[in-house]
Amino acid sequence: MSAGTASVLELCRIPLTVAPTTAYLMVGGRCERDCGFCAQARSSTGPEDMLSRVSWPPFPVRDVLHALREREGAFQRVCLQCTAAAGAFDRLVALVGELKQALALPVDVSVLPPTPRAADALIEAGVDHIGFGVDAATAAIFGAVKGGGWRLYRDLIEHVAHNHPGRLAVHLIAGLGESEKELVEAAQLYADLGATVGLFAFCPVPGTRLAGSGQPPLPSYRRVQIAAYLIALGVVRAGDCDFDAEGRLARLPERAAGHLLDGMAFQTSGCPGCNRPYYNERPGGDLYNYPRPLTQEETREAMLTSGLAQLKELVEAGVV
C-alpha cells in the first residue's frame, strides 16, 4: 500500500503533512507494459516499491484488511492499483471481494481489464469505478509514451461507459508533449462519456525512460486544470474556450470565472474522496494538485499563476 495509507493505518511511521482520504493499495509486481513515466514499467530500473514518486511498502493481505476494519472511518474509499503482471487481474478480483465483505467503503480499481467481460466482472464484484490510465491526450502521444493498445483502451472505455453508466474513470497526465488544447479536448471527450476525469501532472521518476524530462510549467497546468474542472462541472465545453496559435488556453467564457472563486478547481480531481497527497510533487514545492481546501490567498495565487487576464482582473478587483 502507499506509505501514506500505511501511516494512517499505523502499519508504519512516516510524518504526514496531509493524510490520504482514500486508502491506496497496489496489486501485482513489475508490469508487462512499458509506460515511459512509470516506475513499475517493464524497462524501469528504479525501485520496485515505487509508483510515481510515492513508495508502496508490502504488507500481508490479512494485516491490511484488519487495519482497514479497525480504522475504516479514516477513509472515504479504497482504490486498488493493478499492474499488468502475470496473475494480477485474478488477484485483483479476489481482493475486491474480500474488501467488499470486510468494509462498507466504496472500492475503485485502476486497471486495464483484459476483455469487456472482465470489466463486467469487476462491476459485478462491487467496484464503484473502473479507472483507465489513458494518460496521453492523443493517440500519437499514447504510442510514443505508452506503446500499443490505444484501440483496446478506447473499446474498453466505451464498453464501460455504455454498459455501466457512472462507473467510468479516466486518468490524464499533463506534460507528455501535448498542447493545452489537446488535453482540454481529451477531458471533454471523456466527460461526454460520463467519466470522472482525474488530472495528473507528469513527474519524472528515476529509472524510467522519461526520467530526464521536466514537469509541465505550472502556469500551463493551472490553465488546463481550470478548463478540466469547468468541463466536469458542465458549465463550459472545450469548444467555448479560446486558444492561441500554440494551443495555449487564452480565454474562458465570461460565465466561467465565478465558478473558480472557492479554489476547488485547483484541488486533486478524480473520484470523490481521492486527494493523492504529493503524488505529483514534493512537500514544500509547488502544488500542482492541492490535497486539501485552499486558503483564499492560495486561490488568488493559483488564479494569477494561470496567466489568464480575466482572472487577474478578478483578483485585482478584490472579488477573490
| DSSP character at residue 77 | E
What would the mean pLDDT of 261-268 be, rounded to a whole number? 97
Residue 97 has a pLDDT of 96
**What are the tens digits of pLDDT across the range 177-220?**
999 999 999 999 999 999 999 999 999 999 999 999 999 999 99
Residue 185 has a pLDDT of 98
Residue 71 has a pLDDT of 96
Res. 48 pLDDT band, cuts 50 70 90: confident
> What mean pLDDT, rounded, does the chain reach?
95
Residue 89 has a pLDDT of 95
In angstroms, the CA 179 to CA 34 distance is 23
Residue 53 has a pLDDT of 77
Residue scoring higher pLDDT (118 or 280): 118
Residue 46 has a pLDDT of 79
Residue 281 has a pLDDT of 84
Residue 317 has a pLDDT of 92
Would you say residue 25 has pLDDT above 90?
Answer: yes
Residue 47 has a pLDDT of 76
DSSP 201-221: E----TTSTTTTPPPPPHHHH
Residue 49 has a pLDDT of 78
Residue 282 has a pLDDT of 78
In angstroms, the CA 52 to CA 280 distance is 7
Residue 51 has a pLDDT of 82
| DSSP character at residue 293 | P
Percent of the chain with pLDDT over 90: 91
**What are the tens digits of pLDDT across the range 154-170?**
999 999 999 999 999 99
Q: Which helix (H) or strand (E) holds 6?
A: helix 3-8
Alpha helices in 125-201 (DSSP H): 139-146, 150-163, 180-192
Strands (E), the chain: 22-27, 50-51, 54-55, 77-82, 107-110, 127-135, 168-174, 196-201, 242-243, 249-251
**What are the tens digits of pLDDT across the range 66-122?**
999 999 999 999 999 999 999 999 999 999 999 999 999 999 999 999 999 999 999
Task: Of 21-25, 30-34, 170-174, give the lowest mean pLDDT range.
Answer: 30-34
